[in-house]
Structure formats: structure tokens, C-alpha cells
């Protein structure tokens, strides 16, 4: 958090009136945006410890982030966890306009230090209009310092339970036509469970150079060295007896600690963008980017080594026009393409050391989509968008015993959306969109080392309606969505008797949901009184997600609840501002029970989490500020599993989360 956030609270009412969304390239007021969008800004990120994005993202209705162990995260939007045993799949992710999702469909979200993130937008529901193949949604992340014209240096330190230590530093220099920013961070933790230590080094540099008539060249690069241990899932009996233990040996398989199970990921990313204004109404954006990843994953049954290279480009033209004083319109035409080279080898795991080779495959992935979007506003009340993308996807493989290739049919992903300003501060909206998501490389070639050429893409239509409210000088804001998403050929994870995974198409799903978010200033920001400001935020998610036309060789699962998805999630938070720049934030999260297997025979219990953070900020001398804070997490000392292993063989579903724990830290800011 930048120092002086408490002082900035006094300007929050004005800031609320200026909230805009940037997800569809052109900025537009959030109130009239014809889409379901969740925003996590810098102030909200500052309410939490800063060691992960889990808590702030889980405040957004319809979004669920899970943590199997420190560093091992999963992220889903509207139930897309079904096909993600770990990592992020089926959610397209961008980092400052560059795709963080690679050609194979995988996203290493845990590479990024949370303290380097300034703002996130979550576009909920399938959206291929500008972002290509996905059936879950899109996450857009802004890095700190990229959009500021001031120069400053920030330093932060925090620590807490289970050996937590987090250090971060950032430098922002604005001079003439140049804006340079640099972020550095180091984070480590011993973890609550055995074999769950975590460590990450993160370096990121960016430059924005302005030339000519407001033209810009943007450069972005980062390097992340990530290491974390994976304790593995526990059975109900093991979880009840000792939730801190790592997965013990069972049958022919040794335990997680004995095998030194973990993940080692070293990734370098670089990209450059040229934004050229050809005329008053036309500009052209062109980007190229690439990544290099060295990935090692010793786990229970073998030792996997991956070398991944990705290259891509993204380019589009934006044309704006004004038919008359009552009509404003914009058109966007572009393409995005990526090519990936993934070399994967598997060896025997001899207690954390690779032994004899078991398998080796070289895979190549090509993914290209072409997109167009037309948006028009009529008389400042009616906003209409029509968009479509054409998606292509193919892969080739060559192994020790076989080789081949597969090309999927081209797929159109249309999107139709509209919103209407009924009255000042009140809009209605409706959306119809098609989702489409081909299998990722991790699903085509999973940990059983068998290439599954029969796996089909999943697709479906999403229909939704909603409204936004912003009244009482923006002191009261609400956002409600109701949707129905029918998915066919849904991709689902399976685990065999050896603990290795594979994926199948599971018929379909029928997903009906309600999402709501409300924010209210009960006490407007002021400079007098014992309470200078009081803000409450609450979100509610109801997910009635069911399987349809889904069965295996022996059982029909149609009508069962979608695996891994809680039916109800309620989150509320309150922020209080006191004199002397002291603030208090309290948040409650209630998550209902959720099924752990497709048969709905085993459930993870519901849980109620309570956390709080108190902070004090002050100007030490001119242009030098300090913030000191302390926080508690899981204040009710709940015993719960966060990041369950769904459809786990042998009943090893549970990954215990930490009980009551604390953190404390200090931030310095020099301007």
C-alpha cells in the first residue's frame, strides 16, 4: 500500500464517481458497461497482508481462488476449477495488455509477486470478443507504477506465522517523455504443513516512452524464480488425526516428504508494444512477447522436467467516430497468435532426484484468433456491443513410441451485449455469449504420460442479465447478475490407482447462478469525529451448477452438483477510519460445503473465516511517509481444507489450511 492511503480516503467519494473499466481496450464508465465485471483496486489490495491474491479475489462474487499449500494456487470463475487440479486453466489472463496465458492454455499466476499488482479487472463469463478461446472468463492485471507520472521509491517488509517473510521494493522515475518502473520482491514461508515450504524471487522492469503526437512504446519484462513444496492430499482419517502431516506412504507409493515433492519454476518474460495514433480517430497497437520457462516437478510417482518456450503477437486497429451529437461508436479489428514449444521428460523419482527416464515428448502448439468488436452509445443512455472472434488451435507431438498431430475445427465465439440507463445511477444490462475452450497441454499430456488425442474442446452458451446502481452521490453502489450457462463436453479430471491424473469429457453442465456485490459508505469521509469514515462491502454468490448427460461405465452422474463448487459464498467487510490516520479492516467469509467427487458422496465441510488488519500511516518528514500494520487471519481458528483434490483416488481429498495466524509489517514511501 502506498503511504497516505488514509488521507486519500477523504477523496474516495470523488474517486467512486470516476470508476472506469479498461477491459475492452477503450475506457468506459463501469455503471454503463454491458458486462459482468469485478474490480480489485489498490486500496482493496491494501486491506490484506499482501502475501497472496487469494483474499481480495475471493471478495469478487463468482470468483474462487484456492490454496493447496503456499504457492500452489488455483483460480476459477463460475466453476471452472473442474479441470484445474493446480494452476490456472480456462481463464485467460493478461499482464498489462500482454497475455500471461501461454499458447498451451496454462497460466503461471503464482510467478507474480502480489505486491507488484496495482489493479485487477475480472470479466466474468465466456468472453472471446477480444480475448480468444475461454469458457470461464478473463483476468486483467495492472502492474504498479505503469500509469503514474510521479517519481517515488517504496520499500516494504512484513513477516508472520510459519516463517513468513516478505520484502518488496519499487522505483518509479518519470522524466520528460520517459516513465520507468522497477519492482523487486522476495518472499518465503515454511508453511503450516510438513513439506510445504515456499520461496520466490521476483524482478520486473517496465518502460513507457512517448514520442510524436502522444504515441508510445511500452516495454515490459520480468524474471521469477519460484520454488514450493507440495504436501499432497490426505484421507479423512489422516486429516482428522494430524492435518499438518504431508501425504504418507501408501501401498507401493512413498510419501510426499520422502519423494521431496515440489515445484521449481524459473520463467523469463519480455514484451514490447507500439501504440501509434495514425489520426484523431484511428490508432494502431502492435505487440510481440515471449517466455522461457524451466520447470521441474518431483512428485509421488515420477520426476517431470519441462522446457517451455512461447512466442506471440497481438495487434489491432481502433477506429472511433461520432455520427452526430447523440451517437458515439468505436470499432476494433485485430488478431492474437501464439506458438509454443514444450519439451517434457519424465523420470523415476528417487527421493527428489531424477532416475531412469520413463517418457519423453516434444509438443508444439499453434493458437491464433481474429477478433472484431463494434460498440455504440445512443443518446448517452443505450450502449450496445456486437463482437465475434474466429479461433484456431492445433498441436503436434513426437515421443519415443509415437508421433502425430491434431487440428481442431475453427470456432466462432460471438458476443452480444447491451445496457440501458433507466435513470441517473441505475442501469439494466443483458449479455449473450458463446464459450469455447480447447484442452490445454496439461490435459492432453497429463501426469500419466499418455497423450490423449480423443479429448474434445468444451463449449456452450451463456445468457445473463443484471443491473447496477450508484446513488446517494455514489455512497451506495450495487451490482447484481443472474446467468445460465449450458456447457457441453465439459473437461473433468480423473485420478488412477497410481495417483496420476488424466482427463475426460464429462457430458455437460447446466450452470445457473446469482452474483451480487454492494458497497456503502455509512459514514462519509470527513475530517472530524471519532470515526472519520465507515465503508461496508458485501458479496453473495449462489451457484446451482449441475451435471447433465454425464456418466461413466457404471454410474450416471446427471443431476449431481458440480464437483468442487460451493453452492453459497457470502463475504462481507467493514473498513473504519479513525483520527491520527488509524484504520481498521475486518472481513468475514462464509463458504458452504462442496462435493469432492462426481458422485457427491464426499463433501468438504463449510467454513467461516474471519480476519482483521489495523494500520497506522503518517508523514515523517516532507515527502517521506510510513505505514505500520498488524493483522490476524482465521481468527475463529477454523479447521478447514482449502484447495481440495477433487476426484482423488483413495479418498485423498484434503489439504489443510492454517489455523489462527498473524502477520505484521511496515511500508516506507519516498516521493
On whether the CB atoms of residues 197 and 228 are closer than 8 A, the answer is yes
pLDDT for position 222: 97
| 530-552 mean pLDDT | 92
User: How far is the C-alpha of 464 from the C-alpha of 128, rounded, in Å?
Assistant: 16
pLDDT for position 399: 84
| 591-604 mean pLDDT | 94
User: How far is the C-alpha of 39 from the C-alpha of 468, rounded, in Å?
Assistant: 14
Q: What's the gap between Cα 349 and its chain centre?
A: 31
User: How far is the C-alpha of 389 from the C-alpha of 386, rounded, in Å?
Assistant: 11
Q: Which three cell numbers stand for residue 20?
A: 472506469
Position of cell 433507466? 422
User: How far is the C-alpha of 51 from the C-alpha of 611, rounded, in Å?
Assistant: 14
Q: Which three cell numbers stand for residue 440?
A: 490445454
pLDDT for position 10: 37
pLDDT for position 524: 80
Proportion of the chain above pLDDT 90, given as a percent? 71
Q: Which of 21-25, 36-40, 410-414, 624-628 has the lowest mean pLDDT?
A: 21-25
Please give the sequence-ordered ranges of beta strands (E in DSSP) within 133-214, or none if there are none: 137-143, 152-160, 164-175, 178-189, 198-211
Single out the residue of 439, 387, 434 nearest to residue 413, CA to CA: 434
User: How far is the C-alpha of 547 from the C-alpha of 379, rounded, in Å?
Assistant: 44
Q: Based on C-alpha coordinates, what's the Rg of the chain?
A: 24
pLDDT for position 80: 66
Single out the residue of 664, 583, 573, 574 nearest to residue 3, CA to CA: 583
Could you tell me the CATH superfamily of domain 5-446+463-670?
Answer: TonB-dependent receptor, beta-barrel domain (2.40.170.20)
Helix (H) or strand (E) holding 404: strand 403-407
Q: For residue 542, what pLDDT band results from cuts at 50, 70 and 90?
A: very high
pLDDT for position 16: 44
Q: Is residue 243 scored above 50 in pLDDT?
A: yes
Q: For residue 147, what pLDDT band results from cuts at 50, 70 and 90?
A: low
Give the best-scoring range by mean pLDDT among 146-150, 324-328, 478-482.
478-482
Q: Compute the mean pLDDT over every residue in the chain, rounded to the nearest whole number.
A: 90
Q: Is the dihedral of CA 143, 144, 150, 151 positive or negative?
A: negative
Which residues, in sequence order, are CB contacts of 400 under 8 Å at separation 6+? 359, 360, 361
pLDDT for position 612: 98
| 470-478 mean pLDDT | 91
Q: Which three cell numbers stand for residue 84?
A: 484445474
| 99-121 mean pLDDT | 93
Ordered by start, the domain boundaries in the chain are 5-446+463-670
Q: How confident is the model over 604-649, as pLDDT tens digits?
A: 999 999 999 999 998 888 889 999 999 999 999 999 998 898 888 8
β-sheet bridge partners, residue 90? none
| 453-465 mean pLDDT | 93
| 206-233 mean pLDDT | 94
Q: Is residue 9 scored above 50 in pLDDT?
A: no
| 73-79 mean pLDDT | 88
Proportion of the chain above pLDDT 70, given as a percent? 95
**pTM for the model:** 0.93
Q: How confident is the model over 248-303, as pLDDT tens digits?
A: 998 888 999 999 999 999 999 999 999 999 998 999 999 999 999 999 999 998 99
Q: How confident is the model over 148-164, as pLDDT tens digits?
A: 677 899 999 999 999 99
| 541-547 mean pLDDT | 95
Which residues, in sequence order, are CB contacts of 363 under 8 Å at separation 6+? 104, 340, 341, 342, 343, 344, 395, 396, 397, 441, 444, 445
DSSP 459-522: EEEEEEEEEEEEETTTTEEEEEEEEEEEEES-EEEEE-TTS-EEEEE--EEEEEEEEEEEEEEE
Q: Is residue 569 scored above 70 in pLDDT?
A: yes
pLDDT for position 14: 36
pLDDT for position 25: 77
Looking at per-residue pLDDT, the higher value among 565 and 449 belongs to: 565
Amino acid at each position: 500500500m502506498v503511504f497516505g492511503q488514509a488521507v486519500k480516503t477523504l477523496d474516495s467519494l470523488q474517486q467512486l464517481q470516476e470508476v472506469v473499466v479498461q477491459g475492452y481496450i477503450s475506457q468506459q464508465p463501469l455503471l454503463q458497461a454491458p458486462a459482468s465485471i469485478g474490480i480489485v483496486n489498490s486500496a482493496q489490495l491494501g486491506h490484506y497482508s499482501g502475501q497472496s491474491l487469494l483474499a481480495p479475489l475471493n471478495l469478487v462474487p463468482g470468483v474462487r481462488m484456492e490454496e493447496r499449500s503456499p504457492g500452489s494456487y488455483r483460480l476459477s470463475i463460475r466453476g471452472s476449477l473442474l479441470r484445474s487440479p493446480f494452476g490456472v486453466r480456462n481463464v485467460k489472463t493478461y499482464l498489462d495488455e500482454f497475455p500471461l496465458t501461454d499458447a498451451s492454455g496454462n497460466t503461471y499466476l503464482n510467478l507474480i509477486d502480489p505486491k507488484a499488482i496495482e489493479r485487477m479487472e475480472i470479466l466474468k463469463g465466456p468472453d472471446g470478443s477480444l480475448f480468444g478461446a475461454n469458457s470461464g472468463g478473463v483476468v486483467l492485471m495492472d502492474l504498479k507504477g505503469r500509469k503514474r507520472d510521479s517519481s517515488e521509491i517504496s520499500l516494504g517488509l512484513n513477516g508472520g506465522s510459519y516463517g513468513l517473510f516478505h520484502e518488496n521494493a519499487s522505483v518509479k522515475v518519470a522524466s520528460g517523455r520517459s516513465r520507468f518502473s522497477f519492482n523487486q520482491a522476495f518472499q518465503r514461508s515454511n508453511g503450516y504443513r510438513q513439506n510445504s515450504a515456499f520461496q520466490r524471487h521476483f524482478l520486473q522492469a517496465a518502460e513507457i516512452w512517448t514520442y510524436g503526437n502522444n504515441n508510445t512504446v511500452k516495454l515490459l519484462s520480468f524474471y521469477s524464480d519460484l520454488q514450493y513444496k507440495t504436501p499432497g492430499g490426505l484421507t479423512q482419517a489422516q486429516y482428522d488425526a494430524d492435518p499438518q502431516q504431508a501425504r504418507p506412504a501408501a501401498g507401493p507409493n512413498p510419501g510426499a516428504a520422502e519423494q521431496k515433492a515440489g515445484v521449481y519454476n524459473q520463467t523469463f518474460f519480455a514484451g514490447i508494444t507500439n501504440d501509434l495514433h495514425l489520426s484523431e480517430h484511428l490508432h494502431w497497437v502492435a505487440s510481440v512477447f515471449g517466455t522461457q520457462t524451466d520447470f521441474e516437478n518431483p512428485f509421488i510417482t515420477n520426476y517431470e522436467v519441462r522446457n517451455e518456450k512461447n512466442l506471440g503477437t497481438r495487434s489491432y486497429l481502433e477506429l472511433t467516430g461520432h455520427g452526430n451529437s447523440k451517437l458515439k461508436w468505436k470499432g476494433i479489428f485485430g488478431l492474437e497468435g501464439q506458438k509454443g514449444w514444450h519439451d517434457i521428460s519424465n523420470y523415476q523419482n528417487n527421493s527428489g532426484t531424477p532416475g531412469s527416464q520413463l517418457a519423453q515428448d516434444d509438443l508444439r502448439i499453434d493458437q491464433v484468433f481474429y477478433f472484431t468488436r463494434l460498440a455504440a452509445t445512443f443518446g448517452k443512455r443505450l450502449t450496445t456491443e456486437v463482437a465475434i472472434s474466429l479461433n484456431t488451435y492445433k498441436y503436434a507431438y513426437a515421443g519415443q513410441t509415437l508421433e502425430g498431430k491434431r487440428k481442431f475445427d475453427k470456432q466462432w465465439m460471438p458476443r452480444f451485449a447491451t445496457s440501458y440507463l433507466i435513470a441517473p445511477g441505475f442501469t439494466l444490462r443483458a449479455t449473450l455469449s458463446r464459450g469455447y475452450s480447447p484442452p490445454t497441454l496439461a490435459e492432453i499430456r497429463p501426469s500419466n504420460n499418455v497423450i490423449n488425442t480423443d479429448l474434445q474442446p468444451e463449449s456452450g452458451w451463456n445468457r445473463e442479465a443484471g443491473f447496477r446502481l450508484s446513488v446517494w452521490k455514489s455512497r451506495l453502489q450495487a451490482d447484481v447478475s443472474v446467468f445460465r450457462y449450458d456447457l457441453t463436453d465439459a473437461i473433468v479430471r480423473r485420478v488412477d490407482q497410481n495417483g496420476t491424473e488424466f482427463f475426460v469429457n464429462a457430458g455437460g453442465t447446466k450452470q445457473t447462478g446469482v452474483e451480487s456485490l454492494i458497497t456503502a459508505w455509512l459514514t462519509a469521509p470527513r475530517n472530524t469525529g471519532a470515526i472519520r469514515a465507515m465503508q461496508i462491502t458485501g458479496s453473495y454468490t449462489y451457484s446451482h451448477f449441475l451435471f447433465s448427460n454425464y456418466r461413466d461405465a457404471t454410474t450416471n452422474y446427471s443431476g449431481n452438483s458440480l464437483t468442487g463448487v460451493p453452492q453459497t459464498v457470502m463475504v462481507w467487510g467493514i473498513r473504519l477510519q479513525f483520527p491520527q490516520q488509524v484504520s481498521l479492516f475486518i472481513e468475514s467469509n462464509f463458504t458452504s460445503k462442496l462435493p469432492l467427487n462426481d458422485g457427491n458422496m464426499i463433501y468438504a465441510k463449510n467454513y467461516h473465516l474471519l480476519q482483521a488488519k489495523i494500520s497506522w500511516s503518517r508523514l515523517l518528514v516532507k515527502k517521506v511517509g510510513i505505514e505500520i500494520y498488524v493483522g490476524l487471519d482465521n481468527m475463529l481458528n477454523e479447521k478447514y481444507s482449502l484447495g481440495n483434490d477433487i476426484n482423488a483416488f483413495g479418498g485423498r481429498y484434503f489439504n489443510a489450511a492454517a489455523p489462527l495466524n498473524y502477520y505484521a509489517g511496515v511500508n516506507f514511501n519516498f516521493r
